[in-house]
Amino acid sequence: MSAPRLRLGVNVDHIATVRNARGGALPDPVRGALLAIEAGADGITAHLREDRRHIRDEDIARLMASISKPLNFEMAATEEMIGLAIKTKPHAACLVPEKRSERTTEGGLDVIGGHDHVRDATARLKAAGIRVSLFIEPSVDALEAAASIGAPVVELHTGSWCEAVSEGSAHAEHEFERIRVAAAKASELGLECHAGHGLDYATAKRIAGLPQIVELNIGHFLMGEALFVGLPQAIRTMRKAMDAGRPKAPWWTTPER
Ligand code: PXP
């Protein structure tokens, strides 16, 4: 048995960022989502932020009406977003922390300190039939807290590792090791494990080597690449990188990479 197939979720937020820079309707994130699916994406991710800086409410409605693959609705655990998610009923909801001042989602959810509102949001979304994932730091404590909250899925924040890799920092291997240990712990706790933030072709290929991780969510890098090679080509190259990094032999006999 090989490692399970690694799904690619394409985050279309930054198509909306470019659109919003000028106002108007173009480029359209829904067109990007349809192209991404045609090129091999297994799902689409969109983050409706409190300040609507990229994706807007009508984008979510149009994505739900148009795409043939699952929508992963990224959201803060606020009353407004919980209400919207329950009304919209996407396939999945990924709970993320959100601060108005940050440029992107800068850290994992505080599942250890901020338990109650995350637990409540998780229960309400699950009751609405939505698959809930918690975006957390790759730490054993965060994984144990996520399991106790009752979410079936975690998404490990790969940002610190990717940043260390891109800076050529000696810390990069330590960061990768945290992800490796966290993915193994997720599996031990019975949690489905996803990963994302800051991934590019090389880091996606490497992380594909961790067999417990079954989904990567990737946005910014793919949209940047799309400027130069087009979105379908960027997605096909990403798919190839992920397949190349995936263990083919029985993964429990595959040497550590
Ligand atoms: N996963 C989560 C939970 C995120 O918040 C983001 C950023 O919106 C991503 C994945 C994608 O990160 P990037 O755009 O850096 O690929």
Q: Which of 14, 47, 54, 194 is catalytic?
A: 47
If we measure between CA atoms, which residue out of 76, 69, 18 comes closest to residue 47?
A: 76
The alpha-carbon radius of gyration of the chain (Å, integer) is 17
Residue 1: how many other CB atoms lie within 10 Å: 8
Q: Which CATH superfamily is domain 7-245 in?
A: Aldolase class I (3.20.20.70)
Alpha-carbon distance 130 to 64, whole Å? 14
In the structure, which protein residues have their CB atom closer than 6 angstroms to any atom of ligand 1?
Answer: 11, 13, 47, 74, 94, 96, 104-105, 135, 155, 196-199, 217-221
Contact 186, 163 (CB under 8 A): no
Interstrand relation of 192-196 and 131-136 (parallel, antiparallel or unpaired): unpaired
> How many Å separate Cα 160 from the centre of its chain?
15
Alpha-carbon distance 2 to 175, whole Å? 25
pLDDT digits (tens, 9 = 90+) for 40-73: 999 999 999 999 999 999 999 999 999 999 999 9
Beta strands in 71-188 (DSSP E): 71-75, 92-95, 131-136, 153-157
Domain boundaries in the chain?
7-245
What tens-digit pLDDT sequence spans the chain (257 residues)? 578 999 999 999 999 999 999 999 999 999 999 999 999 999 999 999 999 999 999 999 999 999 999 999 999 999 999 999 999 999 999 999 977 556 666 667 877 766 689 999 999 999 999 999 999 999 999 999 999 999 999 999 999 999 999 999 999 999 999 999 999 999 999 999 999 999 999 999 999 999 999 999 999 999 999 999 999 999 999 999 999 999 986 655 555 54
Which amino acid would we find at residue 162? Answer: C
Asked if the peptide bond before residue 27 counts as cis, ω within 30 degrees of 0, the response is yes
47 is catalytic: yes
**What is the residue-wise DSSP string for 130-144?**
PEEEEEE-S-HHHHH
Tell me the CA–centroid distance for residue 1 and ligand 1, in Å.
30
**What is the residue-wise DSSP string for 194-254?**
EEESS--HHHHHHHTT-TTEEEEEE-HHHHHHHHHH-HHHHHHHHHHHHHHHS--S-GGGS
